[in-house]
Structure 1
Amino acid sequence: MFLPLHDVNPHRHVRFPYVTYGLIALNILVFIIQATLPPAAFDEATIYFGMIPIVVRDVYPAPLPWLPDWATLVTYAFLHADWLHLLSNMLFLWVFGDNIEDAMGHLRFLVFYLLCAVLAALAHLAFNLDGNGPLIGASGAVAGVMGAYILLFPHARVFVLARIVIPIPLPVPAFWMLGFWVATQLFYVVIGSQESVAWWAHIGGFVAGVVLAALMRRRGVMLLGGR
């Protein structure tokens, strides 16, 4: 329905968002490696490194004996199903991640991102206890970044590509754009959508981002943009 293009929200503390761009580069690199695999090996990689609820719960043995069950709560967030899956997640991370890194600092932002990935996976697990398919994708962690953004910069302008008659860029407050996004996730959970989308991971990551941002922001970074 819409895609974020860029925001109007200058950095105040960091000159360059190394961690945000590093995470984007790492996700792209991992997917390039995935894409070079034969189809069977591609599927095996998602099983080995994706987060499978019945494996994390020790109901079923881990596909890779040397990889601890808990490790997939992180590794899943660096795998993607296809280029569209990858690029959509990286677009949201590119638009919103730099300001959250600015608000937290490089190292703290990295910890924040990984924690959001873990908590998003645990939310997915909590509502899919008997799930036997692998959860993959950065969307839970990126949802955490979006949750942090709506808490810290709700009034920042975000230019989105909206389709009215023809696709046009429109500036909207971050609160409306991100609020609409999370409302959409809740809507699909309520109606019981059967699409292969991890709605609860998105919601869990978003809530985690809101809570963690309140705790991990720099001293002096105001909630709600200081308003």
Structure 2
Amino acid sequence: MIKVDNAVILAAGRGSRLKHLTSETPKPLLAPRGIPFIEDIILKLKEKQINEIYVVVGYLGEKFNYLEEKFGVKIIRNTEWNNGNNVTSINAVKDCLSNTLVLNGDIILKGNPIQNEYESSLTYVESNSNIDEWIVELNKEGNVEGFIKEGLGKTGLYQREIIFITEPLVKVMKENLATFDMEEYQEYLMIDSAKQAKIPFKTFEVGERTIFDLDTVEEFEEYANSK
């Protein structure tokens, strides 16, 4: 098991699938049940003594400034958030990465599935239900090989939005960032770097409704009204 040194919360995107709900408020700051998504994530990190926390912001980034004083986190600005995918946020925060837990800033955590030590890299849930998420593909050694992006209606291991990366992997990721396609997803940077350096990139199972997000206005409203 490897101890988590710090955490990075990715909060640069607009969350455009929530339409009017994010026209003036970034999705991680929405509060369907009274507390913003990102505040709940920060509190649960601190519950596990993960206190060095970086928040990567982009869209309406100034609205996150209060988090520095309230929680002692560090705001990192991704000036390229609208010119690529979430790998631009990894590029913005690369100098802070070590043994780092990377989380999306708009996820819902039931209970507290976060750990302060990991031996695996990618969280997943095994499901038979219709979840519109990526399915994780594993090779015969049990390492993550890739993803099936159109997972709706299929049975399999669905990716959840928490990834643990280690210092040896970070070193290779930094080298690859110089030439990596910024339109790609961070997961592919991590997997490609792990394969290149022959670093195991395993999976870690969580419960089906332990980590999830709200991708539509209808899902958001249903969750908000089901207290």
- Give yes or no for TM over 0.5: no
Q: Which has the higher helix share?
A: 1
Q: Which has the higher strand share?
A: 2
- Greater relative contact order (CA < 8 Å, ≥ 6 in sequence): 1
TM-score by length of 1: 0.25
